[in-house]
Amino acid sequence: MKYVALMMTILVGPAALLAAEQPRDQPNVLFIAIDDLNDWVGCLGGHEQVRTPHIDRLAERGVLFSNAHCQAPICQPSRTSLLTGTFPHRNGVYTVEQRWRKAPLVQDAVTLPQYFREHGYRTMGAGKIFHREDQLEPAWDEWGVRYGWNWMGERVGPDGISGLPTPSIFDFGPFPAKPEEMNDMRVTDWVVSRLDKSYDKPFFLAVGLITPHLPLFTPPEFYEQYPLDTTRLPVTLPGDLDDLPAMGRKFTRYFDTTPMSHHNITRNGLWHKAVASYLACATFTDHCVGRLLDALDDSPHAKNTIIVLWSDHGFHLGEKMHWEKRSLWEESTRVPLIFSLPGFKKGSDTVVRSTPGAVPATVPDPFLNPHRHARCTRPVGLIDIYPTLIELCDLPEKESLQGRSLSPLLQDPTREWDYPALTTHHPGNHAVRSEHWRYIRYANGDEELYDHRIDPHEFHNLAQDPQHADMIRQLAEWIPDNDAPYGPQEPRHQYTQEFDWSRP
């Protein structure tokens, strides 16, 4: 089995080899999806003040892909890409105003959980996995719960709690509720109850945590961890937009006529409060992740469950005078991605493996060297999750998948990897992220280029510098020649704006 082969490459010592020679059941999968979480996570270093001890704990017991990127910087197309294993420019799903099952190029696609179900897994899910209508997908043996925000709006009223005039969904601050009332805690409770059960076949258990999606509400005890007078704003540069091409500058104007515009937030003196609210949301979500990890560790499935944690895209909080997502810069595309394979016991550097017909053996934790607390800096995408999981779980290869299995990087996070990550926002607008460079080309031909070795905040656009022409040519080879047309679109959502993404 492929999974056994992978584990044999990292287990060491005679006892470990004896254990690895024996057949083992296919592993379970705990699939943790988070909405709108950028790199403001302790192990990624996106904000020095953020407190995410449980996500950091997961990173310590697995492989952290520190250069992971979404394939679209907005919920619907990002999740469609991940769950169908297809790129936006190949499936025609670019906006939230689409129902992906109506897109001709993927309407019959077999999604990731559906594929597991068709190959003998018990599939269970709760929260936000698909962008909408999760429970209607032919992917689940058991669907749990998913809650909306209506009750939160009813509790705070139309004036909100941020202090922004007419904030609508663009609201933030301490929310008058107990932690157990929050949507994600109730979803977490449901998943925890499933981890405590036994099953007659391996399971794929998906949990979708919505926070820190807007509104940025958390119970007061989380918000109070980030006092406004000490909360640090993200690093910005005066005049950062000056060297952007016309299309780049236009991307920053998406929210200009809404409460979430940079001008509106700063003129109302609310930048620190918005940042503190986002940090609090990250910490609240981390608390939910901690409950999931503890429940798994205390369950009968602890030694045979793969964990994968990911976020669907990043989030701006004023960088480049931009807010939320919908850009092709690092803040929108970089996401947490962690894989943890079975074999870690909480509080111990060894695991006890019992093999039928053999004496139970205590063997080194396979993640100690190098797979425990390993960091991989190679560029990867969320589109790579689907092929990776089916290989790790020894399911048949699926040829239609457009991503690549990350198993080679799980075996050796430092190995050569010649594939950049590609992100698309509407037809013709693409970003290519290599290990050290970001190249952006817009639908009208405008370009940006950033060297992350010396410019991690992407302050200095090098696209017009002739000495980088060769680098641009190399990265431009990964830009698609053609983009699929939009799939059927529905009327504009109440929280989205009229905007032309094809020209300045």
pLDDT in tens, 329-375: 999 999 999 999 986 444 334 333 323 333 333 333 333 334 556 99
Q: In degrees, to the nearest 5, what angle opens at C-alpha 388 toward C-alphas 73 and 475?
A: 50
Give the pLDDT confidence score for residue 372 in this predicted structure. Answer: 59
CB 476 within 8 A of CB 417: no
Q: Cβ contacts of residue 15 below 8 Å, gap of 6+?
A: 361, 362, 363
Its sign, for the CA torsion 58, 61, 62, 64, is: positive
Give the pLDDT confidence score for residue 353 in this predicted structure. Answer: 32
Asked whether the predicted pLDDT for residue 137 surpasses 60, the reply is yes
* Mean pLDDT of all residues in 46-66: 97
Of 51-55, 265-269, 373-377, minimum mean pLDDT range: 373-377
**Has residue 264 been placed in a domain?**
yes
> Higher-confidence residue: 9 or 21?
9
Instruction: Give this prediction's pTM.
Output: 0.91
**Has residue 466 been placed in a domain?**
no
Asked whether the predicted pLDDT for residue 13 surpasses 60, the reply is no
Residue 438, strand partner residues = 433, 450
* Mean pLDDT of all residues in 82-102: 96
End-to-end CA distance of the chain: 53
* Mean pLDDT of all residues in 74-79: 97
> Higher-confidence residue: 20 or 227?
227
Give the pLDDT confidence score for residue 495 in this predicted structure. Answer: 80
Give the pLDDT confidence score for residue 410 in this predicted structure. Answer: 97
Of 3-17, 200-214, 266-280, minimum mean pLDDT range: 3-17
Q: Of all residues in the chain, what percent carry a pLDDT higher than 70? A: 89
Q: What is the CATH number of the domain that holds 196?
A: 3.40.720.10
**Has residue 16 been placed in a domain?**
no
Confidence of residue 199 (pLDDT cuts 50, 70, 90): very high
**Has residue 366 been placed in a domain?**
no
* Mean pLDDT of all residues in 94-102: 94
Residues in the chain: 504
Average pLDDT, the chain: 90
Of 150-164, 238-252, 362-376, minimum mean pLDDT range: 362-376
Beta strands 305-311; 337-340: pairing state:
antiparallel
**Has residue 387 been placed in a domain?**
yes
* Mean pLDDT of all residues in 153-182: 94
Tell me how far CA of residue 99 lies from CA of 82, 110, 288, 391, 488, in angstroms. Answer: 15, 15, 29, 29, 8
Mind listing the pLDDT tens digit for each residue in 477-494? 999 999 999 999 999 888
Split into its structural domains, the chain has a count of 1
CB 67 within 8 A of CB 377: yes
Domain of residue 293, residue span:
28-340+373-409
Give the pLDDT confidence score for residue 360 in this predicted structure. Answer: 35
Give the pLDDT confidence score for residue 2 in this predicted structure. Answer: 53
**Has residue 425 been placed in a domain?**
no
**Has residue 423 been placed in a domain?**
no
Confidence of residue 149 (pLDDT cuts 50, 70, 90): confident
Residue 239 has, within 13 A of its CA and on its CB side, a CA count of 3
Give the pLDDT confidence score for residue 486 in this predicted structure. Answer: 97
* Mean pLDDT of all residues in 257-282: 96
* Mean pLDDT of all residues in 309-332: 98
Report the SS3 class of residue 293. Answer: helix
Confidence of residue 275 (pLDDT cuts 50, 70, 90): very high
Closest to 344 in 3D by CA, of 366, 363, 374, 360: 366
Q: Residues with catalytic annotation? A: 75, 131
CB 430 within 8 A of CB 479: yes
**Has residue 292 been placed in a domain?**
yes
Closest to 317 in 3D by CA, of 117, 43, 46, 19: 46
What is d(CA 282, CA 50) in angstroms, rounded to the nearest whole number? 8
Closest to 265 in 3D by CA, of 211, 318, 324, 319: 318
* Mean pLDDT of all residues in 112-126: 98
